[in-house]
Amino acid sequence: MNLKYLLVVLFVGLVSCNTATKLSKEAQIEYIAKGKEITQKSFKLLSGNLMKQMKQGGPVQAIPFCNVKAIPLTDEIAKQEYVSIKRVSKRFRNEINKPSSIELGVIEDYKVALENGEMLSPVLLSQPTGKPQFYAPILINSKCLVCHGTVGVEVSKATDSLIKSLYPKDLATGYKVGDLRGIWSVQF
Ligand code: HEC
């Protein structure tokens, strides 16, 4: 299922009378705008803190920081906004960030869209409870490679050992700039 098709299905799903549906078109636009705002704010908070740690002490300091602080930082924003915020990935580092089957579907659709050179846009879906759920892609940029790039190239052997000591089942290396790293999943 490609993204365009998904969006049509979503839209039809949202305006017809199943679970989600009491949402008007205006409400959908509002939720998407809010989702974008929340995920941009979360990204800024995470990357700002991460870069500060990197400057101070490199990966040796930044990795344990992410290990302890990544989820509490996004939870802070979640609390302020009365939502739940997750970053999930098929190739997760922290098992907590393993995607649900619905999230996996969204990831697969983004992957196909990316392979076809399409623009990736946020998606609004409804949960079984009828509440709206927002998704947006997370892409790799050059700053991510020191911890998510290729081991022995951008990720040094020392960094890899540190990562493996905290995450023995790590799946989150081997990425290149522009790759889909995962998605934001925001539950309203
Ligand atoms: C200093 C090392 C470091 C850098 C740089 C870094 N990350 Fe990570 N990343 C981590 C660690 C450690 C975790 C696991 C966090 C946790 O335990 O909650 C993680 C987790 C994630 C996750 C959650 C999914 C998962 O695999 O658990 C995403 C998404 C992610 N990183 C994306 C990025 C992106 C995008 C960039 C660049 C903008 C980036 N990271 C830069 C170390 C890093």
Report domain extents, the chain. Answer: 3-138+178-187
Q: Which two tokens stand for residue 45?
A: 């908070």
Measure the CA–CA gap between 184 and 121, rounded to whole angstroms.
12
Q: Is 86 in the pocket of ligand 1 (CB under 6 A)?
A: no
Q: For 19-73, write each residue's pLDDT tens digit.
A: 445 788 999 999 999 999 999 999 999 999 999 999 999 999 999 999 999 999 9
Mutate which of 97, 145, 154 for ligand 1? The one with the most ligand atoms within 8 Å of its CB, which is: 97
Measure the CA–CA gap between 181 and 145, rounded to whole angstroms.
11
What kind and span of H or E run contains 182?
strand 180-187
Q: For 134-177, write each residue's pLDDT tens digit.
A: 999 999 999 999 999 999 999 999 999 999 999 999 999 999 99
110's CB contacts (< 8 A; 6+ apart) are 3, 120, 137, 180, 183
Going from the Cα of 93 to the center of ligand 1, the distance in angstroms, rounded, reads: 8
pTM for the full predicted model: 0.90
Going from the Cα of 8 to the center of ligand 1, the distance in angstroms, rounded, reads: 32
Measure the CA–CA gap between 120 and 108, rounded to whole angstroms.
12
